[in-house]
Amino acid sequence: MSDRLETAKPEEILTWAIERFGDKFTMATAFGPEGMVILEMLSRISPSTYVFNLDTGYQFRETLELRDKVLERYGIAVDLLKPEHSVEEYERIHGGPVYKSNPNQCCFDRKLKVLSNAALGRHAWASAIRRDQSPDRARAPIVGWDRKFHLVKISPLANWTKKLVWNRIIDRGIPYNPLHDQDYKSIGCWPCTRATADGEDERAGRWSGTEKKECGLHTDEEPPQAPINPNL
């Protein structure tokens, strides 16, 4: 199926996914430019699709404000899914910010566990990754099996370039995170995101200064297990 959809337009891929999986199809968004483009497509194809955001408690205000803009513009009420503990509780339990001491643990607790719970009862999810974003994402199929979350994973923009995404945003007046106009090329949680200089890799501002490149949502690994916390 992925081969057949390789040359399909993103709207055709989404239409196929909705016909195939119905209300068992969902989408996770961090309100990045690619996610905003898919949300605009969903508003035309299937606005009742359940869409959620992993609301870690560390997102930028500008990111969260997009949730209201999406509702107002497209009528899609993105569900903000929160981890078990608030930021205050979590930092108290661990004696400080875990994003500093063990970011893998922090992403696991505040993103992967939340997505695992959101996946229960679903059969497929859409991600907004593009193959040209990073070497880790270069092999992403249009439709593949996500063994981490036990879902079919659909990446309708896998074949798109950054230019195509931004052309679509401009052509259709799709809202986007204003931080992109301040040299933030890829935006995650504020403690783990910085603006980037011209010539830097698109994701260079994520977990800058560490070996970490991905939060773990889009890496092909076994189902989520708690990473070893060196501080315990």
Q: Which of 188, 196, 203, 217 binds ligand SF4 (CB under 6 A)?
A: 188
Q: Which of 106, 189, 192, 215 is catalytic?
A: 215
Strands (E), the chain: 25-28, 50-54, 79-81, 124-126, 143-146, 151-154
Q: How many residues bind ligand SF4 (CB under 6 A)?
A: 13
| Interface region with ligand SF4, contact rule CB under 6 A, candidates 25-33, 112-120, 138-146, 188-196 | 188-196
CB pairs under 8 A, 24+ apart, for 100-104?
100/191, 101/229, 101/230, 101/231, 102/227, 102/229, 102/230, 102/231, 103/192, 103/207, 103/210, 103/212, 104/212, 104/216, 104/227
Measure the CA–CA gap between 181 and 140, rounded to whole angstroms.
Answer: 28
Q: Which of 106, 118, 124, 169 binds ligand SF4 (CB under 6 A)?
A: 106
| 106 catalytic residue (yes or no) | no
Measure the CA–CA gap between 39 and 126, rounded to whole angstroms.
Answer: 11
| Interface region with ligand SF4, contact rule CB under 6 A, candidates 26-34, 138-146, 166-174, 187-195 | 187-195
Within 57-86, the residues that bind ligand SF4 by CB under 6 A are 58
CB 182 within 8 A of CB 51: no
Q: How far is the CB of 188 from ligand SF4 (least distance, A)?
A: 5
Q: Residue 168 or residue 218: which is nearer to ligand SF4 going by CB?
A: 218
Q: How far is the CB of 193 from ligand SF4 (least distance, A)?
A: 8
Q: Does 56 bind ligand SF4 (CB under 6 A)?
A: yes
Q: Residue 76 or residue 192: which is nearer to ligand SF4 going by CB?
A: 192
Q: Which of 111, 148, 185, 203 binds ligand SF4 (CB under 6 A)?
A: 111
| Interface region with ligand SF4, contact rule CB under 6 A, candidates 63-71, 88-96, 106-114, 123-131 | 106-114
How many C-beta neighbours within 10 Å does residue 68 have? 12
Measure the CA–CA gap between 229 and 232, rounded to whole angstroms.
Answer: 6
Measure the CA–CA gap between 82 and 92, rounded to whole angstroms.
Answer: 17
Which residues are identified as catalytic?
215
Q: Would you tell me which residues interact with ligand SF4 (CB under 6 A)?
A: 56, 58, 99, 103, 106-107, 110-111, 188-189, 191-192, 215
